[in-house]
Amino acid sequence: MSGISPAEVKPVGFIGLGLMGSAIAANLLRQRQLIVWNRTRSACAGLEASGAIVADSAQAVFERARIVFVMLSDESAIDAVLKFDGSVRLRDRTVVLMSTVTPAYSAELSQRIREAGGAYVEAPVSGSRQPAIDGTLISMISGDAASLDQVEPLIHATSSTVVRCGPVPAALTMKLAVNTFLITLVTGLAESFHFAEENGVDAETLRLVLDSGPMASAVSRSKGAKITHEDWAPHAAIPDVLKNSRLVRGQARRTGNASPLIDVCTELYAESEALGHAGHDMAAVISALRNRTETSRGLTKAD
């Protein structure tokens, strides 16, 4: 892994300071001078208090920084920031995309940035808000070797593990595969607790058994505790999980691979959001299962 000179990494830019972005940016700030921008300026306050420079526009970030991390909600938001009309300086800049988007969009974005004279690195992460705060995310990165050598030392400030996945869009495709496991895992866990509550099994006892056995993981322990205590404070919010589930399903449709589990999960997270859980953690997907049970019983009684 090659090093980079201070002139190349100071300041580093960061655009998009949501729950994850703000935590990741805070870890970068501990290592490098940082210039940040967010559409809602109030989101910059904490970083500004810690020493970050707050830019007046995304364009200003690209003027000051040669490496710019971008973590925005979706493809339209990314397009709105990068513009590709000449107003954003992309030549001799490296764009590090941390957003979760479709692999096809990422491949197109890479091409457009290179045509503008810049470089592009995919760097989606696995992990929720707490690992982002702790700097223990798993980062998956793709791009040309020179760009990865330049950016990887910075990413290590945010992650406990950095995995090179191959050429673009391999990192984002990997992220969708990881999300498939995460989403189906948590949904299956919720169904286990719902089955237990409907069949007279104590939730705390079930949690003890699951936490003590070979299937236990940091995710299952965290989400099992949330379900048991009805603690819906979001680590990974329902709308974000629904977005990711739809991305997986869409990619499966494009490649023609079967995706029965993610298809059902997509329905359940959409139902959870409709039931008023948009601000809640993904563990609240149990609400959709409870609602289906109640609806089914109502229909049975009506019959």
pLDDT in tens, 168-213: 999 999 999 999 999 999 999 999 999 999 999 999 999 999 999 9
Residue 101 and residue 77 in contact, taking contact as beta carbons nearer than 8 Å: no
pTM of the model: 0.91
Catalytic residue among 175, 223, 226, 243: 175
pLDDT in tens, 97-124: 999 999 999 999 999 999 999 999 999 9
Whether residue 10 has pLDDT greater than 90: no
User: Among this protein's residues, is 175 annotated catalytic?
Assistant: yes
CA–CA separation, 59 and 70 (whole Å): 13
Contacts of 228 (CB under 8 A, 6+ apart): 193, 203, 204, 207
Residue 123 and residue 96 in contact, taking contact as beta carbons nearer than 8 Å: yes
Contacts of 181 (CB under 8 A, 6+ apart): none
Whether residue 35 has pLDDT greater than 70: yes
C-alpha triplet 127, 90, 174: angle, nearest 5°: 30
Secondary structure (H, E, C), the chain: CCCCCHHHHCCEEEECCCHHHHHHHHHHHCCCCEEEECCCHHHHHHHHHCCCEECCCHHHHHHHCCEEEECCCCHHHHHHHHCCCCCCCCCCCEEEECCCCCHHHHHHHHHHHHHCCCEEEECCEECCHHHHHHCCEEEEEECCHHHHHHHHHHHCCCEEEEEEEECCCHHHHHHHHHHHHHHHHHHHHHHHHHHHHHCCCCHHHHHHHHHHCCCCCHHHHHHHHHHHHCCCCCCCEHHHHHHHHHHHHHHHHHHCCCCHHHHHHHHHHHHHHHHHHCCCEHHHHHHHHHHHHHHHHHHHHHC
Lowest mean pLDDT among 28-37, 82-91, 260-269: 82-91
Arithmetic mean of pLDDT over the chain? 95
Which pLDDT value is given to residue 9?
A: 46
Kindly list the structural domains of the chain, giving each domain's residue range(s) and its CATH number in brackets, ordered by start.
Answer: 6-168 (3.40.50.720), 174-294 (1.10.1040.10)
Whether residue 273 has pLDDT greater than 60: yes
Per-residue confidence band for 6, with pLDDT thresholds at 50, 70 and 90: very low
